A and B are shown apart, each in its own frame.
Chain A
Amino acid sequence: MAKSVGVDSGAFELKIVELDGSFRRPKLSKVCLEPAETAGPDEDPEQVRAVQIREVLKEGGLQRDNLAMAACGRDVLLRELKVPFVGKEQIRRVIKFEAESEIHSHSVDDLVVDFHVFEELESETRVLVAGLPKTVIEARMKALESAHLDPERMDLDLMALYRVAEWAGCFGEEVAQAAVEAAEAEAEDGESDGEVLPTTLGAAVPGLGVQARVVADVGASATRVLAVAGGELLDLRALRIGTDSLVQEIANACSIKLTAARAAVQKVFDDGEDVVIADSDVVASAPTDEVVAESREDDEFVLVDDSDAPPVPDANDSSVAAPTSSQVVVTREIVATAKDRFLMRLRRELLRFSTGLSRVASVERVFVTGGGSLMPGVQAVFSEVFSASAEPLDVLTRLAHDLDDEEAASIGPRLPIAVGLALGQLGGRGGFDFRREEFAFKRKFEQLKFPAAIACLLLILVPVFFIVRRNQQINQLETEHARTHSFEVSSGGRGGESKVEATYYGLLGHLVNRGFPVYEALEGENRDKVLRQVEGAETFDRLLVLRSALRRALEAEQSRTGIFSDLQLRSGAYVLNWFAQQIHDSEEMLGKFLIMRIDLDLESESERQPSKLVVKFMLQGDNYREREASLRARFESRFDDPSCPFSNVAEQRGEDPLQAGVPGAVLQWQFSIKNDFRADGGDA
């Protein structure tokens, strides 16, 4: 279920409602009413208000999404004009230009302009144009932003009042039903153009005009009033008069604080007795409260003419009690006098409004709401001015809620603007939206889509760069490994045999290109066959294919020739040569040395009984034993050499010394021969 929140930030009270459900059946799920905090001399009122809204939302557990706020009608320039177009989109394109001729106090470029269609004629449209200075929006949005609030819509309080009155059936059940159906139709289309669809239910009095209904919201600082005929909005005004003008008058007259004056007036109305003001609430001079300041600024924004400023009581007026030196008393008389003045001014303003309703023949019903509507005499003024019985605008009867009757009666009249704002977020039609141009509301997706798109682009570009890089590296590796440079099959002419000419890059090229080992080892058909197999393989499989092809070729060649190069026997000639080389290298050291007999036997390949070389030799001279030891050491030092065929040397028979007075001996050594040794630096 959708939820929406309406925030009505009045001068006297902050009202926030949360609606749950649909435009047809909304439920008041939460409501918060808090006295408006006043800004100190060094504080920004917008900032104070934004912080209070945030705190109230937080404490009340209300959601921050789908939030609608109201711009005060006093701040907004309203103009009625005709544009020579029909169709909302077309009007929107030119409305700023059209409004320029009607708004002289501001440059339209400094305004956010929106419009409401009053009436569509044949080729033109009567519209209500609303312009809100960008400075006002900027100040408010900046304050809200700093409070981490981002309302989806900034509507006009008058339009919220119109919407809630329409929804509540003030203009007839048919109008309310049409509004619900229009809201649902827009919800189904997924679009909301915000355009009011006037009905033709207003009963016209022939020759005089239409019968209208009036809705008014009497607030603390202003009174909002609008006239509707048959659901069609005829006129609307924000009158610069509210209940605070009464309070202000008393505060000025009694030199007391505005808050104390407000409480005193309320008490006088409730109890009918005088109220003694505490010393702490007495001020030396007349207060210059923000209400006064607000009420005096930017008068030109109001469609209606300026209201009279609150009269300053005459010091000689006997109806106003002069405060004594010890205490200040707000008497019933003071309040009654001030109330009468207020009602008089209200009556005058309403008369001016009703006079402006040129198309209206009569007012059939008057609906009054707002906190000020509870003041005695207010409804009577409305009844008197519009010649119709004034009745309260009952919002809570139609709105599902959990409030008890007393609570509902107390807060019901204070909620319509907030409810109207929230209804707008549930699909209620009509209204303005000043969040346009640079202040346009951006949903989270809208806010995130730019960084998200950049992130996505990076997420695409990073692998693309990676792919390009890897492709280059793979190509490089293929070139270093076995990439094809050229592969041509030429026909063999008359013989009909085709011939393969192939050259490759990298390792394969150094094997199979013309002049390289494999090319030389293979020949003719065999070479062509191998090259075809190699070419048909994946680049990094080519060496393996070549190896397999060479194995097969080798086996075939071995079978054909009977030459098995891998079945090589150990070379006896190499063993003897190696032995002879060692003797030759030791000739100087050996001195007189004679080899008498050599017996080589390479048949055995057993580890236990290895092949052997038996050498019988004679050494002569005085130090023959040292020389024998040197020779043995020489051999022993070479056993680890892979090219050495011997693994061990031992005396076979022991020394047989010469006995005829000649120093020396006959010796017989037996060398054990390794099963594998590397002959001439090659394979074993």
Chain B
Amino acid sequence: MFKDLDIYKVILLASILLVPGAWGYASFLDGKYKEAKTRHAAALRAGGVIHEIGRLSAQLESIKRNADRGVDQEPKLFFKNQIQNTDRSGQIKSTSFTVTTDDPSDRLRGRSSGRRSVDVTADIDFVEKDLTLSREYINALLFNCESQGVQIWKLRELSIENEALKGFKPNVIPPQTVENKWRINRLVFARRKPASN
């Protein structure tokens, strides 16, 4: 059978096996390359896996950073510290305000993330009747409460009124200047957490 084999016949016989094999493998590699290219491009596009990994790692980093500042500090103590630490004049005493927290685990909210969550609120009531505060103080207090600690409390409700213009009527000549004194009628912070927690 192999008596008449020459180089041409060897090539032809070998190619019977090699040609389909080579083209098959080439086709396989081509598919692999195209898939790899697609996946690489998909990873890079906006909203792709790179973006998501960045977001996840940022969240992890945030948790790590916040956790270093004290995990889930007692709300009343947190706000008391923030209110008094922000006040450099010592005008506000611990009796000037009350902090009432509410953790209504029965108040469930459906979220887009699919997680069921509840909002915990901290209602700060400045009980001292004549207590007026500067705009700068209020601004600093709001900033500190949101950015200090674990950064989970957000301002939900605020009602402030300029003391000088309180009860102002249009038929009265308005004052040329008004004092930077503001009365806080309502101040509520809130944080959101999973309902199961």
Contact = CB atoms under 8 A, between A and B. Distances in A.
A406 to B, nearest CB: 49
Contact of B64 (A474, A557, A600): A557
B53 to A, nearest CB: 5
B59 A572 contact: no
Nearest to A603: B156
Interface stretch (A146-154, A273-281, A464-472, A625-633): A464-472
Contacts of B36: 474, 477-478, 481, 540
B50 interface: yes
Contacts of B152: 563-564
Contact of B170 (A473, A568, A656): A656
A452 B156 CA distance: 83
Interface stretch (B78-86, B93-101, B112-120, B124-132): B112-120
A309 interface: no
A187 to B, nearest CB: 17
A547 B54 CA distance: 9
B57 A518 contact: yes
Nearest to A459: B19
Contacts of A569: 119, 154, 156, 190-192
A561 B66 contact: yes
B45 interface: no
A597 B162 contact: yes
Contacts of B33: 470, 473-474, 477
Contacts of A511: 50, 53-54, 57
Contact of B60 (A543, A554, A658): A554
B103 interface: no
A464 B194 CA distance: 58
Contacts of B59: 554, 565-566
Given A540-B39, A557-B64, A656-B170, A564 B192 contact: yes
Residue among A470, A474, A601, A620 with max Cβ neighbours from chain B (10 Å): A470
Interface in A564-583: 564-573, 575-577, 580
Nearest to B147: A573
B154 A561 contact: no
Contacts of B50: 507, 511, 543
B77 interface: no
Contacts of A521: 57-58, 60-61, 64
A264 to B, nearest CB: 57
A473 B30 CA distance: 10
B38 to A, nearest CB: 9
Contacts of A471: 29
Given A477-B36, A596-B161, A550 B170 contact: no
Contacts of A490: none
Contact of B43 (A507, A523, A554): A507
Interface of B: 7-9, 11-12, 14-15, 18-19, 22-23, 25-26, 29-30, 32-33, 35-37, 39-40, 43-44, 49-50, 52-64, 66-67, 71-72, 109, 111, 113, 115, 117, 119, 139, 142-143, 145-146, 150, 152, 154-162, 165, 168, 170-174, 178, 190-194, 197
5 contacts: A463-B25, A464-B22, A477-B36, A540-B36, A567-B192
Interface pairs A-B: 3 shortest CB-CB: A572-B155, A456-B15, A463-B26
Given A569-B154, A597-B160, A658-B174, 17 more contacts: A452-B8, A453-B8, A463-B22, A481-B39, A517-B58, A540-B40, A547-B53, A557-B67, A558-B63, A562-B72, A563-B63, A567-B115, A573-B146, A577-B139, A599-B158, A600-B159, A658-B173
